[in-house]
Chain A
Amino acid sequence: MDKGLSTNDHPTWSQAVESVTSLVSDDESQQLIASLRPLGREGDTFTAEAPDAATAALARKRYGKLIEGSLAQHSGGVLRHLNISVARGGQQELFPSPRPIGRPDRTTRDRAALQEKYTFENFIVGASNQFANAAAQAVATQPGETYNPLFLYGGVGLGKTHLACAIGNDVLDRNPGTRVVYLSSDSFMSELITSLRRDRMEEFKRRFRQVDFLILDDVQFLAGRERTQEEFFHTFNSLYESRKQIVLTSDKFPKEIPDLEERLRNRFESGLIADIQAPDIETRLAILEKMAENEGLALPSDVALFLAETFESNVRELEGSLTRLSAHASLNGSPINIDLAREALKSFVDSRFSHGINIESIQEAVGSYFHIGRVELISKSRTRHISNPRQIAMFLCRRHTDASFPVIGARFGGRDHSTVIHATKVIERRLKHDPTLRETIDKLEAQLTSPDS
């Protein structure tokens, strides 16, 4: 194809583009369309090229059909398809690079740490989260303009992270060049600490103050972290003033987060607070159906109802139950039915309803299993024969009670929530390849969930 052609050499193209351009009002879209260069036609397909892959993707997504229709109209139906290719002329790389050279701080989805599976499309909307979903969509379409900051509030496992990631993913789909940063408050804090220690604060500040879109997950963990709050306050202000979108999630209302600086609290409350309630039964059923559909499972309605009635307050557990059930079914080679469901989820259901399980009972059980006293278990001792049972106990508390990390930490001799997080991670990791530990945990769980405990 001849590169030297100008728009004028393709009258059909210029007519088509003109009529499409007259339909879009904003400069950005007009520029986008103008950046496409006609290359020529082949059969019923017209090819145009965009200066880079991102522009090509955007042009295809937003105006592909429009231009295609317009081309068909202006060519009297001869042209039916539009092919937008990426302009050649790119400098090739010597070394395969994980990200393009020469675009510092360009955030790819990987770097943004967004979970790609969380999108608006697969977020089940019901009465309980309708408002939060609408707010999230508005923020994704008009970042920095409508609700800033957007504060998503809701209990554990109700989809805060899902919505927050969906916003980020949607923004990146619309405009791949956007610098989206997603991270948990814990990561924010640990990055801050590392930067302080290595004397790289300038870098830290630059990194966070130059983003277009900041998503901070679980801001309730900022509680009591003065230096982190201080730094986040400045980051917040700097972004807010330059009209960059900020999205925060928390399992507490700003007012309820303890030890949060007043000025930060005010900032959190200054935008829109959208809450996500526990889903109603219809929504829970819809979630299960959607999930079954995605995984290709045949889920009878009585089983769905059983699950939806059993797991009322936590979507993650609800989804977990179906995963567990399908694993059981494929293991036994039997279809999913209500008997299998009752059997597979027996211990789980029991444990949820046996009110005997709490932090104390776990500490008692673990203590007696390892022949150490409860006092020792929650002492400051860090010898291995104490710390190992302690980690196991923390892990069990997390798995079998509704207690949060900070609460568990407090009940284990006033430890930090990060200690608990670490402990659960250690155990989870070891569980994968340590059969002895698995056995220990199984025994302890059996003991804890047995009716006569």
Chain B
Amino acid sequence: MEFSISKNELLAGLYLCQGIVERRTTIPILSNVLMEAAGSTVTISATDQEIGVRRACIGKVKTPGSVTASARKLYEMVREFPDGDISISGKDNNWIEVKAGKGKYRLVGLDPREFPEMPKVTSDGARLAVQVSADTLSEMLGYTSFAISSDETRVSLNGILVEGTEDGSLRIVATDGHRLAMITRPIEGASNGPGAIIPRKAVGEMRKILESEENDLELVVGDGVAYVTRGPVEMSMRLIEGEFPDYNQVVPKKSPKVVKLDAGSLLAALRRVSIVSSERTKGVKLDVTKGTLELSSINPDVGEGSEEIEVDYSGGAVHVGFNARYLIDLLSVVSSETQIEIGLNDEVSPGVVRLDGESDYCYIVMPMRL
């Protein structure tokens, strides 16, 4: 087996594999990438048996065949090579030889036949099949994925819920049980059906594909497996089996008291005030009166502080406590000029954050009793 390939093509393939391969794995082949050369294509793949990614890279194939090599070592090496062509050939005992410029390296490999199959999805029986622009999906994931739970005891919250709605939209929901982010966008091909929970790691890899490749992205959700393609990249992933909580019941119908302000000033003030809040709970008190929002925090071990922000508000006074981190998470992903609305009711009702010009987005945060 022998092929040559441009540094950039090879790097693009290896880059996508980095997030997939496990650093510590009991199955050695899972830390390797598989390179299959055929026709004018070198397909580079990696899998951790939950997620599989493959990218078809353009190359000049001299002799078709397959080899594997350490995903990490190969990536580190290729990154340092000068621009230009790199040639890779398979040797006896699964060794591979890598030549670039005046450099010549030999790397140990493993038998490519041991490389596991990727999770598969069959297009028939697909619950959902949509084509979505990268910008739209990036935004949808950006506004939601920070709310994914990292509590491993609540498996069904360790991912995002993706589902089609009756009116032909795609909806993404993420929650950790204390806050919930939900966004809905009209997407061609979306139709009402049961949702799928895509695990956190796969969401991260999907975002990587959205950054680094071109074209629209196609998402197919089947039974237990989902499948994503974009340009030369394909990714398949096992879904989380479990029931996503009924998010409809927690979205407040209306919040009587709506505070309007810009994201940037709230973020800056929250970051400062939360320095003196309790490390663990990050509790910050919001006292809203006509035209003013006062943020305050107190920690007997550290001290106390408060900040005032001018806001657009004319209702009665409201006092409520929130975990500052939850608000900061959202404010960090929106641009600082964004006008936001915080819907409040009383100290035990959830706060609902909406973004100006994003009518299909809402972020619900449960209060803390302070």
Interface, chain A (partner B; CB < 8 A):
3-4, 6, 88-95, 97, 101-102, 104-105
Closest to A86 in B: B369
**B59 at the A/B interface (Cβ < 8 Å)?**
no
Is the beta-carbon distance between B152 and A104 smaller than 8 angstroms? Answer: yes
Is the beta-carbon distance between B153 and A92 smaller than 8 angstroms? Answer: no
Interface, chain B (partner A; CB < 8 A):
149, 151-154, 175-180, 245-246, 250, 278, 281, 283, 298, 300, 304, 321, 323, 348, 350, 364, 366-370
Is the beta-carbon distance between B298 and A3 smaller than 8 angstroms? Answer: yes
Is the beta-carbon distance between A92 and B151 smaller than 8 angstroms? Answer: no
The complex places the Cα of A93 from the Cα of B366 at a distance, in Å, of 6
* CB-defined contacts of B154 to chain A, threshold 8 Å: 101
Nearest CB on B from A180, distance (A): 17
The complex places the Cα of A453 from the Cα of B153 at a distance, in Å, of 59
Is the beta-carbon distance between B177 and A101 smaller than 8 angstroms? Answer: yes
A101-B151, A101-B154 known; A89 and B250 CB under 8 Å?
A: no
Is the beta-carbon distance between B366 and A104 smaller than 8 angstroms? Answer: no
Is the beta-carbon distance between B151 and A91 smaller than 8 angstroms? Answer: no
A4-B298, A88-B369, A89-B283 known; A95 and B153 CB under 8 Å?
A: no
The complex places the Cα of A101 from the Cα of B180 at a distance, in Å, of 15
Starting from the known contacts A95-B177, A101-B149, A101-B176, 4 additional A-B residue pairs (CB-CB under 8 Å) come to: A6-B300, A88-B370, A89-B321, A104-B151
Is the beta-carbon distance between A94 and B364 smaller than 8 angstroms? Answer: yes
- A-B contacts, 21 listed (Cβ < 8 Å): A3-B298, A4-B300, A88-B369, A88-B370, A89-B278, A90-B369, A91-B366, A92-B366, A92-B367, A92-B369, A93-B366, A94-B178, A94-B180, A95-B177, A95-B245, A95-B250, A101-B149, A101-B176, A102-B151, A104-B151, A105-B153
* CB-defined contacts of B149 to chain A, threshold 8 Å: 101
Nearest CB on B from A6, distance (A): 7
The complex places the Cα of A88 from the Cα of B368 at a distance, in Å, of 8
A6-B300, A105-B153 known; A91 and B250 CB under 8 Å?
A: no
Is the beta-carbon distance between A93 and B178 smaller than 8 angstroms? Answer: yes
The complex places the Cα of A97 from the Cα of B245 at a distance, in Å, of 10
Closest to A90 in B: B369
A102-B151, A104-B151 known; A91 and B298 CB under 8 Å?
A: no
Nearest CB on A from B236, distance (A): 20
* CB-defined contacts of B152 to chain A, threshold 8 Å: 104
* CB-defined contacts of B246 to chain A, threshold 8 Å: 95
Is the beta-carbon distance between B178 and A91 smaller than 8 angstroms? Answer: yes
* CB-defined contacts of A92 to chain B, threshold 8 Å: 178, 348, 366-369
The complex places the Cα of A88 from the Cα of B321 at a distance, in Å, of 11
Q: How many A-B residue pairs have CB under 8 A?
A: 57
Closest to B180 in A: A94
The complex places the Cα of A89 from the Cα of B179 at a distance, in Å, of 16
The complex places the Cα of A373 from the Cα of B190 at a distance, in Å, of 64
State the 9 A-B residue pairs at the shortest beta-carbon distance, nearest first: A88-B369, A92-B366, A104-B153, A95-B245, A91-B368, A94-B250, A101-B177, A94-B366, A91-B178
A94-B250, A95-B250, A104-B153 known; A89 and B180 CB under 8 Å?
A: no
Is the beta-carbon distance between B175 and A94 smaller than 8 angstroms? Answer: yes
Nearest CB on A from B46, distance (A): 22
Nearest CB on B from A447, distance (A): 51
Nearest CB on A from B224, distance (A): 15
* CB-defined contacts of B366 to chain A, threshold 8 Å: 91-94
Closest to A105 in B: B153
The complex places the Cα of A93 from the Cα of B175 at a distance, in Å, of 11
Is the beta-carbon distance between A97 and B177 smaller than 8 angstroms? Answer: yes
The complex places the Cα of A89 from the Cα of B279 at a distance, in Å, of 13
* CB-defined contacts of B350 to chain A, threshold 8 Å: 94
The winner among A89, A93, A104, A105 for most chain B CB atoms within 10 A is A89
* CB-defined contacts of B367 to chain A, threshold 8 Å: 92
A89-B370, A101-B151, A104-B151 known; A94 and B177 CB under 8 Å?
A: yes
The complex places the Cα of A126 from the Cα of B178 at a distance, in Å, of 52
The complex places the Cα of A91 from the Cα of B281 at a distance, in Å, of 8
A94-B178, A95-B245, A97-B177 known; A89 and B281 CB under 8 Å?
A: yes
Is the beta-carbon distance between B323 and A91 smaller than 8 angstroms? Answer: yes
Nearest CB on A from B116, distance (A): 14
Nearest CB on B from A86, distance (A): 10
* CB-defined contacts of B175 to chain A, threshold 8 Å: 94
The winner among B246, B278, B300, B367 for most chain A CB atoms within 10 A is B300
Closest to B175 in A: A94
Nearest CB on A from B346, distance (A): 12
Nearest CB on A from B291, distance (A): 27
Closest to B249 in A: A95
The complex places the Cα of A88 from the Cα of B283 at a distance, in Å, of 11
The complex places the Cα of A92 from the Cα of B298 at a distance, in Å, of 19
The complex places the Cα of A212 from the Cα of B323 at a distance, in Å, of 32
Nearest CB on A from B244, distance (A): 10
* CB-defined contacts of A95 to chain B, threshold 8 Å: 177, 245-246, 250
The complex places the Cα of A88 from the Cα of B369 at a distance, in Å, of 5
Is the beta-carbon distance between B369 and A89 smaller than 8 angstroms? Answer: yes
The complex places the Cα of A96 from the Cα of B219 at a distance, in Å, of 32
Quick one: which of A90, A93, A105 contacts B177, CB cutoff 8 A? A93
The complex places the Cα of A3 from the Cα of B246 at a distance, in Å, of 36
The complex places the Cα of A6 from the Cα of B299 at a distance, in Å, of 12
Closest to B300 in A: A6
Quick one: which of B153, B304, B348, B368 contacts A89, CB cutoff 8 A? B368
* CB-defined contacts of B180 to chain A, threshold 8 Å: 94
